[in-house]
Amino acid sequence: MTSPRDENYDIWEHPELKDSEWLAQVRKGVREEARAIRKQRRGSGRKVTLVLAIGLVLGAIAFYANSDPVGADGVVAAAAPPVHPVTSAAPAFDVTRPFDGSLAATWAEGEAAIVLPEATPVGTHSAEQVRAALELTKRIVVTGRLDRSVIEKDDAEKVLALMAPTARDMWHEQLASRPSSVSSLYTKIDPRYPLLPATPRVKGSMSVREHQGFLVVHVDYSIAYAFAVENPTRASDIVAIAVTQADYHHVDLPGLSADLLGVVPGESADHSLSMACEPAKRGLLVPLITDPAYRSGSTDASPTECA
């Protein structure tokens, strides 16, 4: 049924005005009123009856025109819902651009982001020797932090192959006795949370100095990884940032055993941002969305930090 406030609404079609019982009551009321008036004004009964009939009907029209229509089954029709302006829902998080909104949004991509400083003589080492040390250190960082076969398949041998034999033996023992130390050597993820195809973002620097007669290359890099998980709502849900600060000793002193020559990892300090902290204690990189307790206090601009 149309509303009384609708321009197409016809009050004469209202069920109450067509109800036979109601009309009988109206006629009875008209007759009673007419008899009373005729006793006072003889000769004008027809006119009085007509006026009363019109008055009663118009009164009914006025009442129903200002009330909600009633259906034939006696149920009052519901009022039209209020009109509210239509607002569009917040756009879904775009996993094809996972770093947008994160700290790594403007960082360069992948290996190209690791730019070597200009090679110049350092101490007793020539520019060529410095360049070779920088390039080898870059290979170690790229292999351990950006090579997916290492990150996703836990391939430690690919990284250790770039180091001195003594260093390889030391790290085999270290990883066996203290698996959580893996994060100091390379990035390892939980296979339940694979990476998105997006290339990791990188920010940082590399420097070189001479110490005890050999070169030491210091790296300081933050590397952001995007994970493939369900229902992310913001970048910090799926973008985890591993920060690595480490020294790589390039041992080339004459007279040393061949087992000692090459790269020997030195001191390192690692921490992470916007990631699940419990797995971090085991050396695993896991997205923050898997850790509700930490996620609640994290934002894209100020993500959770795990020491």
Rounded CA-CA distance 250/247 in Å is: 10
Domain's final residue, options 30, 52, 87: 87
Are 138 and 265 contained in the same domain? yes
Mean pLDDT is lowest, of 65-79, 155-169, 251-265, for 65-79
User: Are the CB atoms for 280 and 304 separated by under 8 Å?
Assistant: no
Same domain membership, residue 57 and residue 17? yes
Residues 119, 4 within the same domain:
no
Same domain? For 170 and 77 the reply is no
pTM: 0.68
- Domain of residue 69 covers 1-87
Which tens digits make up the pLDDT trace of 43-101?
444 444 444 444 544 444 444 444 444 544 555 455 555 554 444 445 578 889 999 99
Residue 262 lies in a domain: yes
DSSP per residue, 47-116: HHHHHHHHHHHHHHHHHHHTS--B-TTSPBPPPPPPP----PPPPPP-TTSTTTTSTTTTSEEGGGG-PP
Contact 139, 130 (CB under 8 A): no
- My answer on whether 250 and 137 are in the same domain is yes
Collapsing DSSP to helix, strand or coil, 169 comes out as helix
Does one domain contain both 114 and 37? no
